[in-house]
Homo-oligomer: A and B are copies of this chain.
Amino acid sequence: MTVTLADVAARARVSPATVSRVLNGNYPVAAATRERVLRAVDDLDYVLNGPASSLAAATSDLVGILVNDIADPFFGIMAGAAQTEIGGQEGTGRAGGEKLAVVCNTGGSPERELTYLTLLQRQRAAAVILTGGALEDPGHIVAMTTKLAKLADAGTRVVLCGRPPLPGSDAIVASLAFDNRGGGRRLTEHLLTLGHRKIGYVAGPLERTTTRHRLEGHLAALAAAGLGDPASGEGRSTGSGEGRAGQEGLVVHGPYSRRSGYEATLELLRRAPDLTAVVAANDTVALGACAAVRDQGLRIPEDVSVAGFDDLPFSVDATPALTTVRLPLYEAGARAGRLAMGTETPPPGGIATITAELMARASTAPPRATR
């Protein structure tokens, strides 16, 4: 029924071993023989049996890319770039030595993250790329460290992209971390320079590295400017805001969604009607923040400035164009892909920090003197 290596060998009048060598290309074979074999492959329309070859060779051509949310371009851009580097060699049609880059959507769930890793381990994946921020739950960190160590042990190359290095994990080939802290800091400095003093902050979900680092940058900028810590009196999403004076209660947490940005901004505006700026955890959240500001009858940036993070493609098209922090997502993803393939040498110490660039646009402006 299904064509096997032996069939090809028979037709090409060589041994199965020779066919295998031709197909894998990592062994000298006479040009004429190779030709004959390839013709037989085409004639018979032979397709290699992946599981069989993985079993025999104890390694597969699968490369897993884990993302937190596949519907979010933040991840899509990185994953697409990585995939281009991994399976990119267009052309041949016959599918030669390509790797199969597969993206797995964890939905931000730690269980699913682990499950996918197990599934990938089960497949004897050649490499795994973990994208985006990590959960900071201690139990999960231990579980992840253990799991990644096992993967590495079994020969899987592990690369982190947009995620800080796992403490004490020598199992990892490389980690490319975004400078979220620096970007967050520069963004808030920009606002302070414009003259803002009362700045609301819509943070991402709790216990995520990305959330924490961006927020830390924000707080660092405030502290450097001699402004108080807005996190005191902090509450979750629509938590119990105490609306005290100063910078207090000006940080609200929520998921990385438009809706969260909308609701959190409403809450911030309620707590501090004299707010002159809102910084969002990312661009998507910023869009929701913009909508909330407008729905309150306020103008952007005249009454309230709004800023995001990531510089996703749609951000420049927002009205007004969104001030944000640019992350080189495509470049980072591509680099992670090459690292996973072993076609790029890891940075010294296996760790590289990727800079985040401030993109000052029309959604931020000096605050009005009074309101």
Residues in chain A within 8 A of chain B (CB atoms): 2, 45, 47-55, 60-62, 64, 69-73, 76-77, 79-80, 83-84, 87, 90-95, 98, 100-105, 107, 109, 111-112, 114-116, 118-124, 150, 154, 258, 284, 287-288, 290-291, 294, 313-314, 317-319
User: Of the candidates B47, B90, B104, which one forms a contact with A111 in the assembled complex, judged by CB atoms under 8 Å apart?
Assistant: B90
Question: Cβ of A123: which chain B residues have Cβ within 8 Å of it?
Answer: 50-51, 62, 100
Report whether B291 and A124 are in contact in the complex, using a CB–CB cutoff of 8 Å.
Answer: no
Highest count of chain B CB atoms <10 Å: which of A55, A80, A100: A100
Report whether B60 and A69 are in contact in the complex, using a CB–CB cutoff of 8 Å.
Answer: no
Question: Cβ of A60: which chain B residues have Cβ within 8 Å of it?
Answer: 50-51
Chain B residue with minimal CB distance to A99? B119
User: 8 closest A-B pairs (Cβ-Cβ)?
Assistant: A102-B102, A51-B54, A71-B76, A319-B319, A95-B118, A50-B122, A51-B55, A51-B51
Question: Cβ of A101: which chain B residues have Cβ within 8 Å of it?
Answer: 104-105
Report whether A317 and B124 are in contact in the complex, using a CB–CB cutoff of 8 Å.
Answer: no
Report whether A317 and B258 are in contact in the complex, using a CB–CB cutoff of 8 Å.
Answer: yes
Q: Known contacts being A104-B101, A154-B2, is A124 close to B51, with CB within 8 Å?
A: yes
Q: How far is the CA of A318 from the CA of B52 in the complex (A)?
A: 52
User: Of the candidates B55, B83, B107, B111, which one forms a contact with A70 in the assembled complex, judged by CB atoms under 8 Å apart?
Assistant: B83
Question: Cβ of A107: which chain B residues have Cβ within 8 Å of it?
Answer: 80, 84
User: Of the candidates B50, B77, B150, B291, which one forms a contact with A71 in the assembled complex, judged by CB atoms under 8 Å apart?
Assistant: B77
Chain B residue with minimal CB distance to A95? B118
Q: Known contacts being A50-B51, A51-B51, A313-B258, is A105 close to B79, with CB within 8 Å?
A: yes
Q: How far is the CB of A41 from chain B (nearest CB, A)?
A: 12
Q: Known contacts being A2-B154, A109-B90, A313-B258, is A98 close to B80, with CB within 8 Å?
A: no
Q: How far is the CA of A50 from the CA of B60 in the complex (A)?
A: 10
Q: How far is the CA of A268 from the CA of B231 in the complex (A)?
A: 51
Question: Cβ of A80: which chain B residues have Cβ within 8 Å of it?
Answer: 69-71, 105, 107
Q: Known contacts being A95-B119, A114-B93, A314-B287, is A103 close to B70, with CB within 8 Å?
A: yes
User: Of the candidates B53, B71, B90, B120, which one forms a contact with A73 in the assembled complex, judged by CB atoms under 8 Å apart?
Assistant: B71
Chain B residue with minimal CB distance to A115? B95
Question: Cβ of A109: which chain B residues have Cβ within 8 Å of it?
Answer: 90
Report whether A47 and B121 are in contact in the complex, using a CB–CB cutoff of 8 Å.
Answer: yes
Q: How far is the CB of A155 from chain B (nearest CB, A)?
A: 10
Report whether B100 and A119 are in contact in the complex, using a CB–CB cutoff of 8 Å.
Answer: yes
Q: How far is the CB of A118 from chain B (nearest CB, A)?
A: 4
Q: How far is the CA of A85 from the CA of B222 in the complex (A)?
A: 45
Highest count of chain B CB atoms <10 Å: which of A47, A83, A102: A102
Q: How far is the CA of A101 from the CA of B116 in the complex (A)?
A: 9
